[in-house]
Amino acid sequence: MLVTSNTRLTRGTGQLLFWLIILQFISSLFFFGICVNWEIPTWIPYSLVRAIHFFVGFMLIPLVLLKLASTSWKAAGYYLGRPLYKREGPPRWYNRLLSPIMGLLFLTTLWSGVAMWGSFEYLFPIPYIYHDYSVVQWHLWSATLLVALAVFHMAAHFRETFRGRRRRQAEDPANPEARSLIFGRRALIGGVAGAGAALAVSAAQWPWPRLSWLSKHHDGPGPHDYPVVTYFGAGTRVDPGKWRLRVTGAVATPLVLSYEEILKLPSIEAQLPLQCVQGWRIDRRWRGVPLRTLYHMAGARAGFRSVYVHSVSGYHFTNHAYQHLHDEALLVTHVNDVPLSDEHGFPARILLPGLPGQNSPKWVDGLELRMESAPRYYGPNFYSQWGPTGPLTEPTKEYLAPGGQTG
């Protein structure tokens, strides 16, 4: 009876994990695609991908630990010589081989993900041992290998299930479970799933961000009271009198605009979220010039396919053209009716609906329209020595205010 209950506990947990892992895999695929610059359809916004990825990710933690505990208990029973478990036979070869590897990969994926979510990179020891790789790379590589092994693991179990071998070996028809054991098993799985959901609500900033008390990134009452995450250029301060925005590339009339000239252009307001790959989101009312207005002024060539965005800090990102032609894609100058602060991108940043902040650089000083497709940033995401979009360009130091820097 004990063996039967343990097997059914493992199976029941595995069935729930199966659907959650599929959902997590789909969200991971789109999350990765947005980060490496795939052409993601506009009806799949980053806000949806972010919510699913972080919520399901946190929910998986206690369920995977329960699965590992259940399978470990069963394996320990066999190797310690307990008769009931000995009678069932040894674990399958792939379980003996893959279970410890998958457990280590899960723990690496979990801890690297939590380190990025909470900006706890300094607590993740592996990059300091193997310094050529950062937390991002460890998360990507461990998750990729984990998915590959999980697919093989699930395929092997499905094969056994359809053949009926697993049921005959794991269950004793003459010794069915007691009703109390069935209730206890379901209550345990339900309780652990509920704990996972509670953990997700407390950390994932979805569906009720104010309940996410575990998150260190929270929205505040003031226009500028929202998190600051800067890949490159921390401490940048731009002199608005020196700063110029250049619109170049596939245009008939290149533009060079001062801050005062931009403020005189027709602007719109849009209520949009600003979101980060670390999982947080804030909502603000942004004011700025629609990017399509600038491109119309410059006489953009028909059919341009990408826009190279350059920051005073040297950071850059090449977006797809359709992302800049959205009605609410803005060159932002104000947030909640006040100018941007230095740390949030003064004098101007771009904001693209449905994309995370890393795709919308701050301190923008150049927009170059290009006829070729935007690149895919596979290398920069898998190799830390480059950064998220490749080697930095030279910062525009002549635009810096006295004492300003691009660190």
pLDDT exceeds 50 at position 168: no
Q: Are residues 275 and 394 in the same domain?
A: yes
**204 and 267 both lie in a single domain:** no
- Is 156 found in the same domain as 40? yes
Question: Last residue of some domain: 211, 236, 256?
Answer: 211
Of the ranges 126-140, 171-185, 251-265, which one carries the lowest mean pLDDT score? 171-185
Identify the residue whose tokens are 């008939």: 252
Q: Interhelix angle for 2-35 vs 135-163, to 10°?
A: 140
Domain assignment present for 223: no
State the average pLDDT over residues 317-325: 97
Residues 339 and 272 in one domain: yes
Helix locations, 350-407, DSSP H: 378-382
328 has pLDDT over 60: yes
118 and 12 in a single domain? The answer is: yes
Average pLDDT, stretch 99-117? Answer: 88
How far is the C-alpha of 262 from the C-alpha of 260, rounded, in Å? 5
Lowest-confidence pick of 2-11, 83-92, 358-367, 371-380? 2-11
pLDDT in tens, 59-77: 999 999 998 888 888 777 7
Among the residue ranges 86-100, 220-234, 319-333, the one predicted with the least confidence is: 86-100
In-domain check, residue 404: no
Burial of 249 (0-12, 13-18, 19+ CB in 10 A): buried
Tell me the average pLDDT across 294-301: 98
Note whether residue 374 is domain-resident. yes
Q: Which of 287, 279, 242 is CA-nearest to residue 397?
A: 242
At residue 181, does pLDDT exceed 70? no
What is the average per-residue pLDDT within 234-242? 93
Instruction: Kindly state whether residues 68 and 201 are assigned to the same domain.
Output: yes
The CB density around residue 11, as the number of other CB atoms within 10 Å, is 17
Neighbours of 318 (CB within 10 A): 21
**Longest Cα–Cα distance in the chain:** 86
Asked if 277 and 37 count as a contact pair (C-beta separation under 8 A), the reply is no
Domain span holding position 257: 244-399
Classify residue 233: in a domain, yes or no: no
- 120 shares a domain with 36: yes
Shared domain for 194 and 250, answered yes or no, is: no
Burial class (CB in 10 A: 0-12, 13-18, 19+), 221: exposed
- Rounded mean pLDDT of 314-322? 95
For 89-93, 192-196, 400-404, which range has the lowest pLDDT when averaged over its residues?
89-93
Supply the pTM of this predicted model: 0.87
List the CATH number of the domain containing 310. 3.90.420.10
**Number of structural domains found in the chain:** 2
Phi, psi of 270 (to 5 degrees): -145, 135
Residues 206 and 258 placed together within one structural domain of the fold: no
Q: Please check whether residues 88 and 132 belong to one and the same domain.
A: yes
- Give me the mean pLDDT over the 130-150 stretch: 79
Mean pLDDT of the chain: 86
Q: Are strands 330-335 and 349-351 parallel, antiparallel or unpaired?
A: antiparallel
Q: What element of type H or E holds 314?
A: none
- Whether 234 is covered by a domain: the verdict is no
Identify whether 235 is part of a domain.
no
Of 83-92, 95-104, 206-215, the poorest mean pLDDT is in 83-92
Average pLDDT of 8-25? 87
Q: Is residue 229 part of a domain?
A: no
Residue 147 φ/ψ region, left for φ over 0, alpha for ψ in the -120 to 50 degree band, beta for the rest: alpha
Same domain, 164 and 310: no
What is the CA angle 369-329-317, rounded to 5?
Answer: 50
- 176 located within any domain: yes
Q: Is the peptide bond before 207 cis (omega within 30 degrees of 0)?
A: yes
How many Å apart are CA 213 and CA 321, to the nearest integer? 38
Angle at 366 between CA 286 and CA 351, to 5 degrees: 20
Residue 33 sits in the same domain as residue 144:
yes
pLDDT of residue 383: 62
Residue in 116, 104, 115, 114 with CA at minimum distance from that of residue 142: 104
